[in-house]
Amino acid sequence: MRSGRTYTAVAVGCVFLLGACGPADGTGAGQPPRTKLAEAPASLPVPRGEGSKVPDDFNGDGHRDLVLDDLVKAQSHADDAGIGIVYGGPRGLAPGARQLLSPKKQAAPAEGRLPALFDAEDSCDLDGDGFTDLIVSTDPPYDGQGRPPVPLQILFGSPSGLTGRGVKLTVPARARFGNDWPDQPVCGDFDGDGEKDLVLHATGGRLSYLRGPFSRQGVPRAAGAPLPSPGEMPAGPATDVDKDGYDDLVVRATEGTGKAAVVLGGPTGPARTGALLPSGVDVALGRFGRGRALDAAVGGMGGTSLCYDLPVPAGRVTLAAAGSMLDAADFDGDGRDELLSSGSRLRVFRAATAGFSTHNAVTVIPRAPGTTRVLAAADFDGDGRADLVVRTYRGETQDTVAVYEGTAKGLLVTKPAVAFSTSEFLEP
């Protein structure tokens, strides 16, 4: 999942994407202001759900929830605080309905020891019960001899959200290759059977492929020999690039700057190489405006390459704008995705039928003390338009998270709909 980054917000004063300052229509005029976390009760109950197909809906109430990794600490040298969950509601994220997932309370012990590392990796409904599950990485004991243990655990969703302890993910020996850690999970329905699968890092140009559904003990329905791949670093989120009913994913050749490829799903899983992408630091897939197919944006410090109409690119252009971190989302609901490029500053390229250019980019969040990053770009209020969640991280003990709403005129950044600090998750 792309939500493991460290982030927050600075107020900006205009509706970007259109570049026009002032309020946008359709943003809930006349409704009471939303409750900020600092003003909310210490805890609100997690709404109970009955199951849904909404992504990242851990309590199954039909509203998307937010995962927060790298929470700030009470003291700079304190242990990792854990993972925060903000549950959604009819009007979007409701920060009062929040949950702290900590190794002490939620992790499964390994050899009698609780992990110190507890990081969110990806999320999907692995057991097919209508409640999203969260895959987390841990640090089980390892003496360096032979194959390392599986570091991944699953926290299963329920009508009350993510409850109970995690279970260790089972990766059968036949599905592993080499002696690397089986990590970097990517969820998707890669074989088109309607159930969520997992792809993991192996080594030697291989990927481990686990077919869902998964049991409540973390065991996949099936797992065969590792699949040959143009790389061994899977990257999410998975999506059906060529609209053939099978999810596809990006696989990078190496960490850092390097080449990547789109690997296509099929009846035997993600076993076919589609587009070979240029070298870069990050890749985002989206519908950027030239055709009906998905496109790829490959970001690097020297510019951002755009490859149109995957899986076999029909055209390529390069933006004279660095893109060390990329995301794609449709903020105005027109069916085309905007491209978010962040790093030293956050810029948004507005989609158009002619594609992108540097002329339709707007710097939406200026430089500010601390580090500002995109945390999530997704539809949290159910209006069909993506919202932007950003985090400004000013140190180990101070941050701000803000949610800006997508509207028919673009992204409204005059005032965040919700603003809070991850320090609110700290246990007393």
Euclidean distance between CA atoms 216 and 156, whole angstroms: 8
Residue where the block lists tokens 């987390």: 136
pLDDT at 14: 31
Beta bridge partners of 297: 284, 306
- Distance between the two ends of the chain, CA-based, in angstroms? 29
pLDDT of the chain along its 428 residues, tens only? Answer: 333 333 222 222 333 332 222 223 333 333 334 444 445 445 788 999 999 999 999 999 999 999 999 898 877 667 778 999 999 999 999 888 999 999 999 999 999 999 999 999 999 999 999 999 999 999 999 999 999 999 999 999 999 999 999 999 999 999 999 999 999 999 999 999 999 999 999 998 999 999 999 999 999 999 999 999 999 899 989 999 989 999 999 999 888 788 999 999 999 999 999 989 988 889 999 988 766 778 899 988 777 888 888 887 777 777 777 677 889 999 999 888 998 887 667 788 877 655 665 555 565 655 556 777 889 999 999 999 999 999 988 877 888 898 999 999 888 877 888 888 998 888 76
Q: pTM for this one?
A: 0.88
CB 340 within 8 Å of CB 347: yes
CB 202 within 8 Å of CB 178: yes
Beta bridge partners of 187: 198
Beta bridge partners of 401: 391, 420
pLDDT at 415: 81
pLDDT at 344: 64
pLDDT at 219: 98
Residue where the block lists tokens 């600090």: 421
CB 247 within 8 Å of CB 216: no
Does the N-terminal peptide bond of residue 311 adopt cis geometry, omega within 30 degrees of 0? yes
Cβ partners under 8 Å of residue 144, min gap 6: none
